[in-house]
Structures are given as C-alpha cells and as structure tokens.
C-alpha cells in the first residue's frame, strides 16, 4: 500500500467523530482515537494501557469478559460482521451513556486472534428521546 494511503487511513481513524478503539487479546487498550476521547472523556494517554473496564459499567464487566475471552479463544463472535450492537457505557466522569457499536475481530495471517477493534457512537440523546416517546405513548394509551 502506498505511503500516502497509509497516511490517509491513519488520518481518518485518528480524527473521525466516532470512537475507534483497539484492544489486544487481554482487553488492554492499544488504540484510542479523538472520537473516543470526546465520547468517553479519557485522553489517549490515560486510556492506552488500561483495560476496557474504564468504559464498561461495573455490573456488566463479568458478562463482557466472558464473551471477550470466548471470542479470543474461538476466533468467532456471535455478532455478524457489521451488526450494530447497543450497550451502556461509562464516561471518565462516571456518567452513563448509551452506545451503538460494531466490532471487528483482529486475526493474524494464521487466523489466530490478537485483539478486537470497535467503532462506537454515543446515542444517549436518541435513546433518551425514544424512552420519553414510549412513556408518552404508554401514558396516552392508559388514558383512553
């Protein structure tokens, strides 16, 4: 790949508004772009070298790590390529947020897992708006 293409890809990943996070086989963060900084509040220097626990609500960590280890061992995820997942996350300040994301299992030339990349988007505002609309709909249904 020409050097200019590599620079283009690096610039896109570094600067995109969505979070781009790569974690190794142990779940240690190795890549944290500006979108991740904006969404989660941690700088790259604060996040890189930490585990994904910094963005996973405590009550969900055991289930997350069970699934993560399973994917690392098997090389297979129950989520298809491009499937959009929705989960809660936490920011540096402790605020809970709603996230949509897709994952990309990262394999070496022999097909062995060496990590996972995720593209994440903060959808908290949309999630809260939908929750409010559902409440309004439920309230108007019970009145009539």
Strand order in the sheet with 85-90: 29-32, 19-24, 113-122, 96-107, 85-90
106 DSSP 8-state letter: E
Element containing residue 74 per DSSP (H, E): helix 61-74
Range of the domain at 43: 3-143
Instruction: Give, in order, the Cα–Cα distances in Å from 127 to each of 74, 130, 132.
Output: 33, 5, 9
pLDDT in tens, 40-49: 999 999 999 9
pLDDT in tens, 5-61: 889 999 999 999 999 999 999 999 999 999 999 999 999 999 999 999 999 999 999
Residue 124: which of 29, 31, 40, 12 has the closest Cα? 40
Q: What is the CA radius of gyration of the chain?
A: 18
Query: Do β-strands 96-107 and 19-24 pair in parallel, antiparallel, or remain unpaired?
Result: unpaired
CATH of the domain at 115: 3.30.450.20
Residue 40: which of 1, 96, 81, 83 has the closest Cα? 96
CA atoms within 13 A on the CB side of 92: 12
Q: Binning pLDDT at 50, 70 and 90, where does residue 81 land?
A: low
Q: How many domains does the chain have?
A: 1
Residue 84: which of 125, 54, 123, 32 has the closest Cα? 123
Percent above pLDDT 90 for the chain: 67
């Amino acid at each position: 790949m020409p050097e200019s293409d590599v620079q283009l890809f690096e610039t896109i990943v570094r600067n995109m508004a969505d979070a781009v996070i790569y974690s190794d086989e142990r779940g240690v963060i190795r890549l944290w772009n500006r979108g991740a900084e904006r969404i989660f509040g941690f700088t790259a220097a604060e996040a890189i070298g930490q585990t994904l626990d910094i963005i996973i609500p405590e009550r969900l960590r055991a289930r997350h790590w069970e699934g993560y280890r399973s994917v690392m061992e098997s090389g297979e995820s129950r989520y298809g390529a491009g499937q959009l997942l929705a989960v809660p996350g936490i920011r540096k300040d402790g605020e809970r947020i709603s996230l949509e994301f897709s994952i990309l299992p990262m394999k070496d030339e022999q097909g062995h897992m060496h990590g996972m990349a995720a593209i994440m988007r903060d959808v908290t505002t949309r999630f809260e708006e939908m929750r409010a609309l559902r409440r309004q709909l439920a309230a108007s249904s019970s009145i009539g």
